[in-house]
Amino acid sequence: MSEHKQVNVERKEEHKTNNSLLGATFIKYAAYLVIFFGIIWFLITYILPMF
């Protein structure tokens, strides 16, 4: 005799937002933008007038 058991597995997916990770990512990309625009400003202000 074979017994068949029916097992229901309930899966819950929790989407957690880590605010510290989100803030760190924002600060990182904001720093990239500041550096990028700083280099552009330096090129326009000092290097471009030399030509």
Q: How many CA atoms lie within 13 A of 2 on its CB side?
A: 2
Lookup result for tokens 């957690």: 16
Looking at residue 38, what is its pLDDT? 98
Q: What is the pTM of this model?
A: 0.59
pLDDT per residue over 1-51, tens digit each?
Answer: 567 788 888 888 877 778 899 999 999 999 999 999 999 999 999 999 988
CA distance 3 to 18: 46
Looking at residue 8, what is its pLDDT? 84
Looking at residue 1, what is its pLDDT? 58
Looking at residue 26, what is its pLDDT? 96
